[in-house]
Amino acid sequence: MQAKTFLCPRCDFPLIPVHAQERGRRRIIALTCPEPYCDHMQMLPTAAAREVARRIATGDTHDHVIQGAG
């Protein structure tokens, strides 16, 4: 498994989560760049999305790296 970062490879902004509503539950499906002129989006497998959600919930996003996202 590769490590993917929480930083946009084009403009180095921290990526923000993209959510989807599935079966009455909201979950993270991707990360996207908040820069208006950047179209970078990184889709996440379910396990990596759970890790992102856990890190957001605990406030542990300082290292900006997620394992298994690629």
Per-residue pLDDT of the chain (70 residues; tens, 9 = 90+): 344 557 888 898 888 999 999 888 888 999 999 999 999 999 999 888 888 888 878 876 555 555 555 4
pTM greater than 0.95:
no
* pLDDT value of residue 5: 58
- Tokens at 9, concatenated: 């490879």
- d(CA 27, CA 18) in angstroms, rounded, equals 8
In the prediction, which pLDDT does 57 show? Answer: 82
**Are the CB atoms for 70 and 5 separated by under 8 Å?**
no
Quick one: pLDDT at residue 1? Answer: 32
Count Cβ atoms below 10 Å from residue 27 Cβ, excluding itself. 16
